[in-house]
Structure 1
Amino acid sequence: MGTEQKVTDKDRLVTVTLDPNTITSINPDEVHEWRIAIYDLLEDNSFRPARVAAEGPFALHVSIVGNFIVLDVRDPETFKPIAAHYLSLTPFRRLIRDYFRIRDAYYEAIRSAQPFQIETVDMARRGMHNEAAELLRTRLTNKLIIDLNTARRLFTLICAVQPYASRIDEATSELPTVLFVCSMNSVRSPIAAALARQAFPGRVIARSVGVNGGKADGFVHEVMEEIGIDMSIHTPHILDELVANHFDLVITLSDDAPEAVERKGLEAGAIEHWKVEDPSLVEGSRELVLNAYRELRDGLRRRVRERLEPLVSGGSQTG
């Protein structure tokens, strides 16, 4: 019995992140809705990938590619890929529309309706949620093993992110592409990419990777939150995971990055190296370390704006 309970405890999600390249919003209400959906999913779930030997707990990285939600299961410590599944949104279109229609009716009923009207709307909401959860479990058969409660919460998350998805097809898009590379994709490169997306929303495709895999950094979350950027959605990636091989501009931010980029054989309109300090190496009080992260953030903010302005305006890649 004890062993069974231990295995069950591992069959769960402990981290959920969203791909900032395909799920984009600068509206704080929308971001708040994502956070609530993620919080509810993590609070209580039963989750494990089917047909793989990996042992949990697990991390889930969510992105939207064309008409598909991509459910990318990873190791929560190393973010090493375990299994990725493409889930077509087409079978869920009616249910997603119903979700928002019933949600709005429920909020309206709470404000003005009689108790019996609230109960009627709530019953419709529960029925729709159960139908969506069963469909989700069916579509994920032999891919992901989730219980009904987890499926309900995962569907809520899909509804929360789906309307705000940026369906940029990088293969056909004419938007300028920029890749930032550092050692671990934990601090410098993800900060730079996030700042690029904030400065030029919908005008640039900005990605970040590391030479090696790293972990999410809490100080990054804190200092980026100060300027309205939610970095809790960031998942570290490495150069070897890159699908795209051509970028208009590649910017390396660590000493080991230029050689790794050269080995990878990326095609680029221009490759530049920016010498920036790694604040994770700073020792001292919490405030001293935070200030080092803020200094990096503010320095990169200015430099990213200045460097990318001519690129997004249709100018030359060469600085």
Structure 2
Amino acid sequence: MAEKPILYFICTGNSCRSQMAEGFGKEVLGDNWDVRSAGIEAHGLNPKAVEMMDEVGVDISNQESSTIDLDALNRAELVITLCGDARDNCPTLPPNVQSEHWGLVDPAKAEGTEAEVNQVFRDVRDDIKSRIKELK
């Protein structure tokens, strides 16, 4: 059996957006893609991202925050950056690697009441899910 093509989600800290994208990617595209995520830095898995994904039945609690694996990046078929920092600081991709940029707000920087912060996480989560469904 041939290896699945790699779909690599990249953001700044690999704690929220890319982790949620990896979770949805595995759920929606996992039969056809080797879905991975990484960050320019590794900030650890954000507990609020885990909680908000759990609300929609996707368990990301066992995912790990990691930095970019250059070998996987260079072998990826599609790399999607989720923030300007990742787009601007991602290592140069070989010409055969397709890339997209989804400029998403960082829910980890949301301020306000718990309900308001949760809503920012939900909005980003739902945006990611709808974009991943379009990749199908």
Q: Which of 1 and 2 has greater Rg?
A: 1
Do structure 1's residue 265 and structure 2's residue 92 form an aligned pair? yes
The letter for the 1-side match of 2:31 is G
Query: TM-score of the superposition, structure 2-length normalised?
Result: 0.90
Whether contact under 8 Å (2:23, 2:59) holds in the other structure is: no
Instruction: Report the counterpart of residue 5 of structure 1 in structure 2.
Output: none
For residues 204 and 235 of structure 1, the distance between their equivalents in structure 2, rounded to whole angstroms, comes to 19
**Pairs aligned (count):** 134
Instruction: Report the counterpart of residue 187 of structure 1 in structure 2.
Output: 16
Q: Stretches of 4+ moved more than 3 A in 1?
A: none
Query: TM-score of the superposition, structure 1-length normalised?
Result: 0.40
Instruction: Report the counterpart of residue 254 of structure 1 in structure 2.
Output: 83
For residues 284 and 303 of structure 1, the distance between their equivalents in structure 2, rounded to whole angstroms, comes to 27
The letter for the 2-side match of 1:266 is L
The correspondence for 1:289, drawn from 97, 117, 121, is 117
The letter for the 2-side match of 1:258 is R
For residues 19 and 87 of structure 2, the distance between their equivalents in structure 1, rounded to whole angstroms, comes to 17
Instruction: Report the counterpart of residue 108 of structure 2 in structure 1.
Output: 280
State the structure with bigger RCO (CA 8 A, min sep 6), 1 or 2: 2
The correspondence for 2:128, drawn from 277, 281, 300, is 300
Shift of residue 215 of structure 1? 1.7
* Percent of aligned positions that are identical: 31
Residues 11-66 of structure 1, C-alpha deviations (whole Å, 9 max, x = no match): xxxxxxxxxxxxxxxxxxxxxxxxxxxxxxxxxxxxxxxxxxxxxxxxxxxxxxxx
Instruction: Report the counterpart of residue 163 of structure 1 in structure 2.
Output: none
The letter for the 2-side match of 1:219 is K
The letter for the 2-side match of 1:226 is E
For the structure 1 residues 237 and 265, does the alpha-carbon distance in structure 2 shift closer, same or farther, using more than 3 Å as the test?
same
Unmatched 5+ stretches in structure 1: 1-167, 310-319
Q: Which has the higher strand share?
A: 1
For residues 58 and 103 of structure 2, the distance between their equivalents in structure 1, rounded to whole angstroms, comes to 24
The correspondence for 2:34, drawn from 202, 205, 210, is 205
Whether contact under 8 Å (1:246, 1:266) holds in the other structure is: no
For residues 88 and 116 of structure 2, the distance between their equivalents in structure 1, rounded to whole angstroms, comes to 32
Secondary structure at the aligned position of 2:71 is classed as coil
Residues 183-218 of structure 1, C-alpha deviations (whole Å, 9 max, x = no match): 000001111111111112322111100001202111
Do structure 1's residue 238 and structure 2's residue 74 form an aligned pair? no
Whether contact under 8 Å (1:190, 1:208) holds in the other structure is: yes
Unmatched 5+ stretches in structure 2: none
Shift of residue 246 of structure 1? 1.6
Instruction: Report the counterpart of residue 216 of structure 1 in structure 2.
Output: 45
Q: Which has the higher helix share?
A: 1
